[in-house]
Amino acid sequence: MKLVLQRVANASVTIEGDVAGQIGGGLMVLCGVEHADTTKDSEFLAQKIVDLRIFSDDEGKMNLSLLDIKGEALIISQFTLFADWLKGRRPSFLKAAPPAQGEALYLHFVEQVKSKGVKVETGRFGADMKVSLLNDGPVTLILDSKEKFQ
């Protein structure tokens, strides 16, 4: 499972002109699922994103977590995180999990983050979404569960 985290002042997702989810300060999370991913990957990453100390304290140091600041998360499914772009000009997405598996693990990840006490908003799996955000920092991290389990 691969995540792109962006620390945001606010973020929203629109589907067919309607706001599907919006948050104030916290994390905008793009979430990609590949074939080999399991619930273990989603549980590990859910715990990691709520505990990462990437928010500034009173001295401007990154010492606070999403839980510490009582931040929110906007979690968007993003199969294109597993694009293979090395050959040719059109990326291949064969590494991404099939839709049923991808959606199940994405939803499991969302529920895991919620269970930690974080307010979570989402888009809709498989939908054409327009995401807006005000990046804070900017602070952007890429997390891959396979790096932990190698």
Q: Which residues are catalytic?
A: 78-80
Q: Counting beta carbons within 10 angstroms of the beta carbon of residue 90, is it exposed (0 to 12), middle (13 to 18) or buried (19 or more)?
A: exposed
Alpha-carbon span 110 to 61, nearest angstrom: 28
Main-chain dihedrals φ then ψ at residue 129, nearest 5 degrees: -120, 150
Kindly list the distances between the CA atom of residue 40 and the CA atoms of 84, 105, 110, 136, 149, in Å, as whole numbers in the listed order: 24, 10, 13, 30, 10
23 DSSP assignment:
E
| 87, HSE (Cβ side, Cα atoms, 13 Å) | 2
